[in-house]
Amino acid sequence: MCGIVGYIGPKGAVPILLEGLRKLEYRGYDSAGIAVIEEQKLLLRKSEGKLGVLEERLKEEKFLGDIGLGHTRWATHGKPSNENAHPHHDCKGKLAIVHNGIIENFQAIKKMLEDEGHSFFSETDTEVIAHLIEKFYQGNLVKAVQKATSKLEGSYAIAVISQDNPDQIVAFRQDSPLILGIGEQELYLASDIPALLPYTRKVIILDDGELAELNRKNYQIFDLQGNILEKEIEEIDWDLEMAEKKGFPHYMLKEIHEQPDVLRQLLTTPLKDDGIDLPELGSILDFQKKIDRIFIVACGTAYHSGLIGKALLEKTTKIPVEVDMASEFRYRSPLVGENSLVILVSQSGETADTLAALRYAREKKAKTLGIVNVQGSTIFREADYTLLIKAGLEIAVASTKAYMNMLAAFNLVALKMGEGEFNGEKLAELLHFLREIPAQAEKTLHKIERPSRQAAEYIKNWDNAFFVGRGLDYSLALEGALKLKEISYIHAEAYAAGELKHGTLALIEEGIPVVALVTQEDLLEKMVSNIQEIRARGGYVLGLTQDKFVSRLEGEVDFLLSIPNTSDFLAPLLGTIPLQMISYYAADLRDCPIDQPRNLAKSVTVE
């Protein structure tokens, strides 16, 4: 959600800024802009729409400045427009600012500044910061930014340049990610790692309340009191090649096909002959006897992984588990205490609502476990314990491989915490199936690619679709419905199949597509009965099952897909692949922008 890029060094800034913004396009945006300083004059260009619109405009101009900022905006205050696009400037047009996040008290600050004679040109909260810095500026940009940020309330990251300080970028972070990249006699700034990968692997991740000053010789980082901090330089081991499509037409399809490999990345080390080695859980295992409740808190796709995590953890640990949408968690006054374990799930490790839930849990003295994909992210650093899902860089807005590895991570945690509840034979059986999952995922990809496209051929012509299941299949159905609606724009809903007769059957009409998940043996006959209810009312049922249940489903559904046999406990890991593929092909057949669906952002860093 929004992207910041900055550069200062001996090279022309514009190509570097545009390339950095291109690497951040996956985050979602509706406008783009840059600001550079050339011959001590601030030059600013911005446009509504995709980055290509801005690039076409810049072809007509030759900006040679070697210091600048770039931004892609996802609208929060004010509609997408040229005026509301970033960067924003002060009254005199000498200072430019880019901003991610939300300033909660901007209306009060704006009124104060207007009373003092400042004029505003946009509807954004961002522009207020530019004028506030202008108000405090007396020749020292660092001090002006420090004073301005002390007046701001909210979650944000900003970067500022001024033609009066042509050798300096000043940046500040509060609850929104910001990363300093260190090159050879040049410095970079970005809101996410991919923007830096073409240029450097050496980064410093700013913490909340930290200000960075980048100049032509070096950098300095300050805390809120103005003290200079010594920050450790981290080496990023992400492969730049992971950010390329590798011949696939879309990042989403590439990332679906990467799932066997990322499963191996996650599972190979912890899976031992006699059990699971998961040192990331640390003293949670010693504390486990005291745990009276587990909370899983997440958003969107990560929330759906948590629903499956709940079922697994309750089955293995016999501890009650609650799953909360992070945006609701704090506001319902959850009964979190010092004997609680709160598991926070986030692909980026920066999701604003999930991060706020983490801090709430820590205030209540609960133990916290972060399940995240980004090392060094805020949740990674602030949680008591962290399990990296090792899915690698995910570009498509609709999560696939990160969701897969979230499910795998929950299986690891559940089996490790539940070791005492299994007899040796049962645990050995589950470990055997889990070791096979990467290879089974490869088989699934080859097996279901064609039938998934055939299913999508039917679904693409409908405005509505339904997903049904029971137990683990219902939780997976929720993710299947989300995937379909977020990239194909087909309205899709998931229902617990046993609830159909309590009202939902009224929605079934002749031919409407219903994806029925049937992977759980103990619920097989119940699901067959529910499918018969749907077909009796004219619904077109697309069944998804394991190979071992195919003979029972034949004749009961209109179209059947099957995944290789595995433990019912692990079936969601394979079952998610055909759901992803159906959604992908439905979106492709409808000519939708698959990697960047409208109105959505990859990393949601505002509440």
List, for residues 418-470, the tens digit of each pLDDT value: 887 776 678 888 899 999 999 999 999 999 999 999 999 999 999 999 999 99
Regarding whether 397 and 256 lie in a shared domain, the answer is yes
Reported as a pLDDT band with limits 50, 70 and 90, residue 358 is very high
Reported as a pLDDT band with limits 50, 70 and 90, residue 34 is very high
Residue 427 placed within a domain: no
Mean pLDDT along residues 97-102: 90
Query: For 463-484, how does the pLDDT look when each residue is reduced to its tens digit (9 = 90+)?
Result: 999 999 999 999 999 999 999 9
Residue 599 placed within a domain: no
Instruction: Give the pLDDT of residue 605.
Output: 45
Environment class of 498 (CB within 10 Å of its CB; exposed 0-12, middle 13-18, buried 19+): middle
DSSP 8-state assignment for residue 120 = -
Closest CA to 86 of 125, 50, 129, 33: 33
Residue 607 placed within a domain: no
User: Which of 237, 257, 286 corresponds to the end of one domain?
Assistant: 237
Rounded Cα distance, 309 and 303, in Å:
9
Residue 604 placed within a domain: no
Mean pLDDT along residues 316-335: 91
Q: Are 33 and 207 in contact (CB under 8 A)?
A: no
Asked whether residue 82 carries a pLDDT value surpassing 90, the answer given is: no
**Mean pLDDT across the chain, nearest whole number?**
91
Instruction: Give the pLDDT of residue 598.
Output: 81
Rounded Cα distance, 450 and 581, in Å:
9
Tell me the residue range of the domain where 292 lies: 248-421
Instruction: Give the pLDDT of residue 448.
Output: 94
Asked whether residue 603 carries a pLDDT value surpassing 60, the answer given is: no
Asked whether residue 567 carries a pLDDT value surpassing 70, the answer given is: yes
Rounded Cα distance, 375 and 369, in Å:
14
Better-scored residue on pLDDT, 472 or 100: 472
Report the Cα 116 to chain-centroid distance in Å. 41
Instruction: Give the pLDDT of residue 52.
Output: 85
CATH number of 540's domain: 3.40.50.10490
Instruction: Decide if 2 is catalytic.
Output: yes
Regarding whether 220 and 73 lie in a shared domain, the answer is yes
Question: Half-sphere exposure of 265 toward its Cβ, with a 13 Å CA cutoff?
Answer: 18
58-62, 227-231, 260-264: least confident range = 58-62
Instruction: Give the pLDDT of residue 179.
Output: 93
Closest CA to 586 of 493, 463, 465, 453: 453
Q: Are 370 and 347 in contact (CB under 8 A)?
A: no
Regarding whether 385 and 474 lie in a shared domain, the answer is no
User: Which of 421, 455, 471 corresponds to the end of one domain?
Assistant: 421
Regarding whether 93 and 143 lie in a shared domain, the answer is yes
Instruction: Decide if 92 is catalytic.
Output: no
Regarding whether 96 and 173 lie in a shared domain, the answer is yes
Residue 332 placed within a domain: yes
Asked whether residue 147 carries a pLDDT value surpassing 50, the answer given is: yes
Asked whether residue 571 carries a pLDDT value surpassing 90, the answer given is: yes
Query: For 201-212, how does the pLDDT look when each residue is reduced to its tens digit (9 = 90+)?
Result: 899 989 889 999
Residue 204 placed within a domain: yes
Regarding whether 194 and 132 lie in a shared domain, the answer is yes
Regarding whether 168 and 272 lie in a shared domain, the answer is no
Mean pLDDT along residues 523-536: 94
Q: Which two tokens stand for residue 70?
A: 């770039």
Regarding whether 455 and 490 lie in a shared domain, the answer is yes
Helix (H, G, I), strand (E, B) or coil at 14: helix
Question: In which element (H, E) is residue 43 found?
Answer: strand 41-48
Q: Which of 122-131, 247-256, 305-314 has the highest mean pLDDT?
A: 305-314
User: Which of 178, 206, 237 corresponds to the end of one domain?
Assistant: 237
Reported as a pLDDT band with limits 50, 70 and 90, residue 102 is confident
Regarding whether 375 and 476 lie in a shared domain, the answer is no
Instruction: Give the pLDDT of residue 28.
Output: 66
Mean pLDDT along residues 161-184: 92
Regarding whether 178 and 75 lie in a shared domain, the answer is yes
Instruction: Give the pLDDT of residue 57.
Output: 85
Instruction: Give the pLDDT of residue 240.
Output: 61
Q: Which two tokens stand for residue 14?
A: 């514009």
CATH number of 45's domain: 3.60.20.10
Residue 518 placed within a domain: yes
Reported as a pLDDT band with limits 50, 70 and 90, residue 606 is very low
Residue 242 placed within a domain: no
Catalytic residue among 2, 94, 401, 592: 2
Regarding whether 176 and 297 lie in a shared domain, the answer is no
Q: Are 197 and 171 in contact (CB under 8 A)?
A: no
Number of domains in the chain: 3
Q: Are 596 and 74 in contact (CB under 8 A)?
A: no
Report the Cα 593 to chain-centroid distance in Å. 18
Mean pLDDT along residues 149-178: 92
Catalytic residue among 135, 390, 401, 602: 602
Reported as a pLDDT band with limits 50, 70 and 90, residue 74 is confident
Regarding whether 291 and 193 lie in a shared domain, the answer is no
Instruction: Give the pLDDT of residue 363.
Output: 93
Asked whether residue 27 carries a pLDDT value surpassing 80, the answer given is: no
Q: Which of 190-199, 330-339, 501-510, 513-522 has the highest mean pLDDT?
A: 513-522
Reported as a pLDDT band with limits 50, 70 and 90, residue 607 is very low
Q: Which two tokens stand for residue 198?
A: 């073409």
Task: Provide the whole-model pTM.
Answer: 0.71
